[in-house]
Chains A and B, each alone.
Chain A
Amino acid sequence: MLLSLEDATVRFGGRAVLDAVGLDVAEHEIVCVLGPSGSGKSTLLRAVAGLQPLDGGRVVLDGRDQAAVPAHKRGVGLMFQDHQLFPQRDVGQNVAFGLRMHGTSKGQQDERVGELLELVGLPGAGRRAVASLSGGEQQRVALARALAPRPRLLMLDEPLGQLDRSLRERLVVELRELFGRLGTTVLAVTHDQGEAFALADRVVVMRDGRIAQSGTPLDVWQRPADEFVARFLGFENVVEGTVAGEAADTPWGKLPVPVGSAQGVRSLLVRPAGVRLVGADTGLRCAVAARTFKGTHVAVRLRPEEDAPRLEAACALREAPEVGDTVGVEFDAAEIVVLDRDGRA
């Protein structure tokens, strides 16, 4: 393993911001830590970088404990959330900074700076003032600066956080392609699931300083570990039910569940695609409370007539009912996930 965190713990005034976190990152792997703000993501990066001392546990890089190694000798790169470019240096000097610190010769510095600016799509921008850059350009310079000293591990703190949506979507693809080509080992943190899923080989979901789930983007998306992860990923249809065999008793009625699901009192997730709208005379009767156009489909908000939590359904554009209509709802077992017990419930 290139990076291992073992029971890493950081406390701010008694509160554990990192609570015995264990995490491994293999060489050439892109790992994305995903979590709401305040879940300890940034602290995790700062602890690895050596900017935040641990209150317990260890950070191990290449098999070596880093406790006594100061930040500037760890050989990891960190791209800050708001870039933190040095305002009094131009673009080229910013990119060359790390090289200079490592005693690289002037000629090699110039060569590498040119190479990196080319790489991030800003060829010839070396003499430009940092203040004259747009947000996207600053982000690229920050990336070039972090990459320049060839860190063994590159860490990104909300790498695309401040950029507008279309730019973000384009850059995330570029980044993944770039890291793949360079073979860079990356540990990124973000609160944006789209960004995490697009960038990462592996996603780690954090909650309150602990790791709630770790797996490939597909794993995490298809089988959220618990209610917290499911809700954080944007799923609304989570309900408590009693699973017995291939059915579950819930406020929405009897739901079919996949074969081999865990039994007993559980949280169940029904993906919007698994909520099928049928005629008002069959299934669970619901009123249509709202419709939201989502581009590829329409999200329909349903209010069951019985006393039960609301439901969200995904409908094809043409089939979506009007607000105020009454519809029946049936459920599709393939889109239902029985969740593990919530760690904190």
Chain B
Amino acid sequence: MDLTRTEVAPRQGRRSRRSAAARLGLVAVPVAFFAVFFAYPVAAIVARGLKVDGRWQFGRIVDVVAQPDIRHVLWFTTWQAFASTALTLLVALPGAYVFARFAFPGKQVLRAVVTVPFVLPTVVVGTAFLALVGRGGLLDELWGVRLDTTVWAILLAHVFFNYAVVVRTVGGLWSQLDPRQEEAARMLGASRLAAWRQVTLPALAPAVAAAALMVFLFTFTSFGVVQILGGPAFSTLEVEIYRQTSEIFDLSTAAVLTIVQFVAVGAVLALHAWTVRRRETALRLVDASATARRPRGAGQWALLAGVLASIAVLLLLPLAVLVQRSLDAPDFGYYRALTSEDGGIFLVPPIEAIGNSLQYAVAATAIAVVIGGLAAAALTRRDAGRFVRGFDALLMLPLGVSAVTVGFGFLIALDEPPLDLRASWILVPLAQALVGVPFVVRTMLPVLRAVDVRLREAAAVLGASPWRVWREVDLPMVRRALLVAAGFAFAVSLGEFGATVFIARPDNPTLPVAVARLLGRAGELNYGQAMALSTILMIVCAVALLVLERLRTDRTGEF
């Protein structure tokens, strides 16, 4: 017996080595991509910030953070993120409940509509709120109320932006919780509230925590919204990094701030990964369509009405005002102005930004889908080891680490040999793809993981090689998810602002960059053109999303 064993052992070693090699092959491309376009630029930032005359100066961090104005920025960044998160939960949790448990006409459409803000470019969100609460905005005209000088404009824009995160993450799970669990508790003598507290809340808590952390992350690293609505008074770390880089040209301070933000975001992401793992604990999930019913009684109708009203005021009104402002000149004047050469701001007519944006977005989508798809395939393998799981967390980093970090990193790392891409158009799509990859992975992974391993085994036993198993079993099942992922990557790169603003060349602006530049100029015409460009961008994104909504079957993902 021992003889046989020693004879067999090496063969098996070979087999497991082969599968390890296959896994490594899948992982290699995404890892290389992240090493060159994420890790290397981040390392460059660190070196730029902490290395003075060739020596490491870690005291720089303390020096920079100790400056009063930087301390003020840190404090504001943190508290506005907490406030935005709390306000978002307050407004959106009732919405999550209504979408999960109530059946009402138009629910599908409304669910898609509330998701639109999430894929809207931050610049558009900022512009829309400017049109609503800013100087000469709707509230200003009606009642002389202006909020753009207060923090409220920022907080409301953050709620607008993140409403869908809560409704999707929490409501998605809520709608799949088996109501009979609560009924079982009721039969055992629990009151309606007690049943909810004892049964539903514990099941939901990890999802609420995950959603809250996502919102916190997005608002902590908020750039476009604050850049447009914050004025000189309010500045987040992201905005400060940009200001230090492009206005004060203090790259070393910017680098230190990036490191500070990197550490903070890393901590939040670690917490998020932990809650997501908790969320994966076994729950009795049922088909969402079976759990919703028509509201009963005055209380439930009032709740539904309240939620619909909040959606109308917070989500729909800003977009409507944006469209109205863009039309506020005779004969589509602002739109026609977009096509004319206007010398000062751009070297090209603003309308050309649309073409640039679309080109970049297509390239970025292709890159993100290939990299993200390979990464997701590697992460799906059941024998995925710790190394691969760690890679999962790494993939999330660019999402949280903020676009400004990515853009700034590209700016200082990829403009000199060995990698000089400064003159290449591919720089912008690369940065946008980096931001899009986490979305691709997050969309693909749950679907790939849901494919029953034994279906693959059934195909293998029938003679399908591993590659054919993937083509014949996995691909048909994930085709939709792949399209959805591509759509997300497209929308993300179309609206990407933070990274692009660093690296887009003046003669090749993208839509968001063009909007921001127009807003930075005085004058009615510039303002109107910004509104018009934003409207175009909003429509493209909204259409992309609504197409996706139709494709999408699984609503349990995070986005």
By a beta-carbon cutoff of 8 Å, the part of chain A in contact with chain B is 6-7, 20, 46, 49-51, 53-54, 56-58, 65, 67-68, 70-78, 80, 82, 84, 86, 88, 97-98, 101-102, 145-146, 148-149
Q: Is the CB of A54 within 8 A of B463?
A: no
Which residues, 1 to 20 on B, are CB-close (under 8 Å) to A?
1, 4-5, 8, 11-12, 14-16
Q: Among residues 325 to 380 in chain B, which have CB atoms less than 8 Å away from a CB atom of chain A?
A: none
13 A-B pairs whose Cβ atoms sit less than 8 Å apart in the complex: A7-B1, A51-B457, A51-B460, A53-B16, A57-B8, A68-B14, A70-B465, A70-B466, A71-B457, A72-B461, A72-B464, A73-B463, A80-B457
Asked if B462 is an interface residue, CB under 8 A from chain A, the answer is yes
Q: Which of B205-220 contact A (CB under 8 A)?
A: none
Tell me if B1 and A72 are in contact (CB < 8 A): no
5 A-B pairs with least C-beta separation: A98-B462, A101-B463, A67-B11, A71-B460, A84-B458
Q: What does the 1/0 interface line of B453-474 toward A look like (CB < 8 Å)?
A: 0110111111111101100110
Task: Classify chain B: how many residues form its interface, as a range.
Answer: 20 to 34
Taking A56-B5, A57-B1, A72-B461 as known contacts, 10 extra A-B pairs with beta carbons closer than 8 A to each other, sorted by chain A number, are A50-B460, A51-B460, A56-B8, A65-B11, A70-B466, A72-B460, A72-B462, A84-B457, A97-B464, A98-B462
In the assembled complex, the CB of B42 is this many whole angstroms from the nearest CB of chain A, namely 39
Total A-B residue contacts, Cβ distance less than 8 Å: 96
Q: Check B477 for interface membership: any CB of A closer than 8 A.
A: yes
In the complex, the answer to whether B465 meets A84 with C-beta atoms within 8 Å is: no
B11, B455, B460, B465: the one contacting A86 at CB < 8 Å is: B455
Nearest residue, chain B, Cβ from A56: B5
A71 / chain B contacts, CB cutoff of 8 Å: 457, 460-461
Partner of B462, one of A51, A68, A82, A145: A145
From A49, A54, A77, A148, contact of B8 by CB (8 A): A54
Q: A57: which B residues are within 8 A, CB to CB?
A: 1, 4-5, 8
Q: Closest CB of chain B to A86's CB: distance in Å?
A: 6
Least CB distance, B502 to chain A, in whole angstroms: 44
One of A49, A67, A80, A86 near B12 (C-beta < 8 A): A67
Asked if B416 lies at the interface with its beta carbon under 8 angstroms from chain A, I say no
Quick check: is B476 within 8 A (CB to CB) of the other chain?
A: yes
What residues on B are CB-neighbors of A76 within 8 Å? 461
Shortest C-beta distance, B254 to chain A (Å), equals 51
Beta-carbon contacts under 8 Å, B437-485 to A: 452, 454-455, 457-466, 468-469, 472-473, 476-477
Residue in A closest to B2 when the chains form the complex, CB atoms = A56
The CA-CA distance from A53 to B468 in the complex, in Å, is 21
A72 touches B12 (CB 8 A): no
* Partner among A49, A54, A67, A102 whose Cβ is within 8 Å of the Cβ of B461: A49
Task: Write out the residue numbers on chain A whose beta carbons fall within 8 Å of the beta carbon of B462.
Answer: 72, 77, 97-98, 101, 145-146, 148-149
Q: Is the CB of B463 within 8 A of A72?
A: yes
- When chains A and B are docked, how far (Å) is the Cα of A70 from the Cα of B14? 12
Asked whether B15 lies within 8 Å of A53 as measured between CB atoms, the reply is yes
Which of B4, B463, B473 has a CB less than 8 Å from the CB of A7?
B4
Residue numbers in B under 8 Å from A58 (CB-CB): 4, 8
Residue of A nearest to B12 (CB): A53
Inter-chain contact A84/B454, CB cutoff 8 Å: yes
B445–chain A nearest beta-carbon distance, Å? 20
Q: How far is the CA of A71 from the CA of B468 in the complex (A)?
A: 13
Q: How far is the CA of A65 from the CA of B8 in the complex (A)?
A: 9
Interface centre among B468, B469, B472 (most CB of A within 10 A): B472
Q: Across the interface, do A51 and B461 meet the contact criterion of CB distance under 8 Å?
A: yes
A89 shortest CB reach to chain B, Å: 8
Residues of A within 8 A of B472 (CB): 86, 97
Q: Which residue of A lies closest to B18 (CB)?
A: A70
